[in-house]
Amino acid sequence: MMRTDPFHRAANILRENQPAVAFTGAGVSAASGIPTFRAADGVWARFPVEEYGTADAFTRDPERCWKLFGELSRQLGDIRPNRAHQGLARLEEIGLLDAVITQNIDNLHQRAGSRRVIELHGTAATAHCPRCKRRFRSEELPTWPPAPRCPECRAVVRPDVVLFGDPMPVDAMEQAHRLIDAAGTVLAVGTSLQVLPASWLVLEAARRRVPVILVDPSPSPDARRAATVVLQAPAEEAIPALVEIFAA
């Protein structure tokens, strides 16, 4: 007899509606020790977005913005992928997940073994000089403070992340649209579906009646309405539980 609890229902959807694509947000990395941006104790509570997180703010005072970037670099240097990242990589390995589309900049999906990762908001793993366009790996940059400067032209280096006011990366958005358009299932993990325009990818899939499996311990009303089934648990618990069903 078919099991009807949410996890087995999600497993049946994932198995029967291929190809599947994951769409991940900050919640997938919370167990790795990265604070979410929008929580009461999150990044924007300590570094107000209008002062530190916009393209205009970087143009006005890049050294000030490096207070935020330096803190993120310090945190990202100390973290490791958690069971949610590892579980998504395992789903890809066993042929049940085609790709991961992520709003995160932490590079943890790749470090966990996911091979096809679309980074909608860029990555903190690389940076560039906005003046002479020289590119850097993050580990090549000196430890903040002070703000790292390009050794060629001495401009303040900028991480390859999408700040508020920046355009979304065209190539990443085009790849994401193609994946969502072809998807039979969308696995939305650790995202409130409130960060536009990225979340429109999932909402548009739901509008076309593509099954959406939502993993979120505290889903918003809008996210619930978009979901076919809700796994109301932290990502680091829900994704391994889902993987375990396929291993049984």
What is the share, in percent, of the chain residues with pLDDT greater than 90? 79
Residue 1: pLDDT band with limits 50, 70, 90: very low
Which residues are 128's β-sheet partners? 135, 158
* pLDDT for residue 164: 93
Burial class (CB in 10 A: 0-12, 13-18, 19+), 173: middle
pLDDT digits (tens, 9 = 90+) for 8-67: 999 999 999 999 999 999 999 999 988 667 666 677 788 999 999 999 999 999 999 999
Asked if residues 239 and 216 have their Cβ atoms less than 8 Å apart, the reply is: no
A 10 A CB-CB count for 114 gives 24
pLDDT above 70 (res 161): yes
Q: Which residue has the tokens 């049946």?
A: 12
Asked if residues 238 and 216 have their Cβ atoms less than 8 Å apart, the reply is: no
A 10 A CB-CB count for 62 gives 17
Cis before 151? omega within 30:
no
pTM, full prediction: 0.92
CA distance 96 to 16: 10
CA distance 58 to 52: 7
Residue 104: pLDDT band with limits 50, 70, 90: very high
- Domains recognised in the chain with CATH numbers: 1-33+81-121+167-248 (3.40.50.1220), 35-78+123-161 (3.30.1600.10)
pLDDT digits (tens, 9 = 90+) for 110-156: 999 999 999 999 999 999 999 999 999 988 888 888 899 999 999 99
What backbone torsions phi and psi does residue 241 show, to the nearest 5 degrees?
A: -65, -40
* pLDDT for residue 36: 67
Which residues participate in catalysis according to the annotation?
Answer: 121
